[in-house]
Amino acid sequence: MTHPKAGLTLRLMNALIDLSARQLRQAAKLRERIDTLQSELSGLLGGSYSGARTAPSGGGGRRGRRHMSPATKAKLAAIARARWKQAKAQGKKAL
């Protein structure tokens, strides 16, 4: 059984073989520019952007839930309580 992306990879490799040296240089420049822009975007979003070029971690199966430490849960709960307290003080029924 072949990997689902194997056909895509083979087509990309064949396409690269058919390119001229000039086209390869242009493609490399574009790839570098895309990587730079993705890094900038990640910096703006606080590192939450994950580009399509990242390899899946582990065996590629379903990932488990993210776990938060008790301290982080307490901090988030305190922030939520403060937000609700402020909303109630302003007479809002919902945020």
**Are the beta carbons of 59 and 67 closer than 8 angstroms?**
no
81-91 per-position pLDDT tens digit? 999 999 889 88
Cα–Cα distance, 94 to 69 (Å, whole number): 28
According to the per-residue pLDDT averaged within each range, which of 16-25, 46-55, 82-91 is highest?
82-91
pTM of the prediction? 0.34
Give the span between the Cα atoms of 12 and 3, in whole angstroms: 15
The helix/strand/coil state of 95 is coil
Tokens of 91: 């007479």
Confidence of residue 45 (pLDDT cuts 50, 70, 90): confident
- In percent, the amount of the chain with pLDDT more than 90 equals 16
